[in-house]
Amino acid sequence: MSSAADQDLKPPASSSNDNPKLTCSVVICTVGRLELLRGCLGAVFQMLPAADEVMVVDNTPGTAAIQAIAAEFGARYVVEPALGLSRARNCGMAQSLSAVVAYMDDDATPKRDWLRHILKPFEDPEVAIVTGEVVFHPATTNSAVEGPPRTLSNRDPQWFEIATFGGLGLGSNMALRRSACAGRKVFDERLGSGAPFNIAEENYAFASLLASGFRAAHVPAAVVFHPAKTLNVLKFATCAFAYWLLLLAEFPNHRAELIRYLFRRWRKLPLPWPRDPQGAGEIMCAGWRLQLRAAAAGLFLFLRHRGALRQATFVRNQS
């Protein structure tokens, strides 16, 4: 029997009442990085058009300095004391009253026209996910060449691997339709920074929403700038192995696709869909000793935490 998250449904029927004025909340989750948060808020409040609401989710028991910075810019201040980026993002979704909830990291800065581009695809009531381009600095292989928007649904070939392995973009530049997330914690709290599987919470959320029949759009013109980060390959690989096992367990209808994808990456074959970078990645390029260590540690991590708080499932009612 497949899990509820794995039931690939038909696209939801549109309605004239599904898409009122596209109000938008920009949610910035932070854990005490004061100056970075100030820079992010400064850029967010320079955007045209302006957000209907800017919310700072403090992922600590509460920090007077963060509250003061939020007040300095006129942002709403919310506390999520349980550590974890997915928990903070779920809190932002639950607290928002806007039609669209857009997420940004506290060390990221958007281009001034970012909100206009990220909101445009939501004019289609079937679109529940929109992502944009993340430009890393100092410069990396991401050249920020703006191409045409592309869309994805669970009727498209290879949609599952595209959603779960980076073909839709990153969580530091994404927006979700709030009504599509009603009745569920869209970000699985076992995933993401501060969680047992420190990886891929946005990818899992994308796959879950697409499996429910919604559509996604990637808009390269919606640009966010983000500092490049160094990577602990062993830690990243361990979490990646645990994430793969989680996908195998919770999306049983897509196990064959997942195995084919991993086999292609192991052989260092190019992907048939857009993703930056296209290379095999740090895990597959690492030595076999590191891969074996990460596989063993990832299996232990998965078995230890798979029974933890599970994402609330949601199946869209069909008329």
For residue 246 the two structure tokens come to 């989680």
* Burial 229-261, CB ≥16 within 10 A → b, else e: eeeebbebbbbbbbbbbbbeebbeebeebbeeb
Q: How far apart are CA 203 and CA 244, in angstroms?
A: 12
pLDDT of residue 171: 93
pLDDT of residue 308: 61
- In the chain, the DSSP E strands lie at 24-30, 53-58, 76-79, 100-105, 109-110, 127-137, 150-152, 173-177, 215-227
Q: How far apart are CA 315 and CA 229, in angstroms?
A: 37
Nearest to 11 by CA among 169, 122, 100, 125: 125
pLDDT of residue 118: 97
pLDDT of residue 249: 92
For residue 133 the two structure tokens come to 């381009």
User: What single-letter DSSP state applies at residue 191?
Assistant: B
pLDDT of residue 14: 38
φ/ψ of 315, rounded to 5, equals: -120, 120
Domain 4-227 has CATH 3.90.550.10: yes
pLDDT of residue 146: 66
pLDDT of residue 183: 83
Series of mean pLDDT values for 10-residue runs along the chain (319 residues):
46 41 94 94 97 97 96 97 96 96 96 96 97 81 66 96 94 96 91 93 96 96 90 89 93 94 88 74 76 91 75 33
**DSSP state letters, 223-238:** EEEEE-----HHHHHH
Neighbours of 155 (CB within 10 A): 12
For residue 238, what are the contacts with CB-CB under 8 A and spacing of at least 6? 293, 294, 297, 298, 301
For residue 213, what are the contacts with CB-CB under 8 A and spacing of at least 6? 8, 9, 10, 11, 12, 153, 154, 316
For residue 7, what are the contacts with CB-CB under 8 A and spacing of at least 6? 211, 212, 315
Helix (H, G, I), strand (E, B) or coil at 38: helix
Q: Domain map of the chain by residue range? A: 4-227, 233-305
pLDDT of residue 222: 96
pLDDT of residue 19: 42
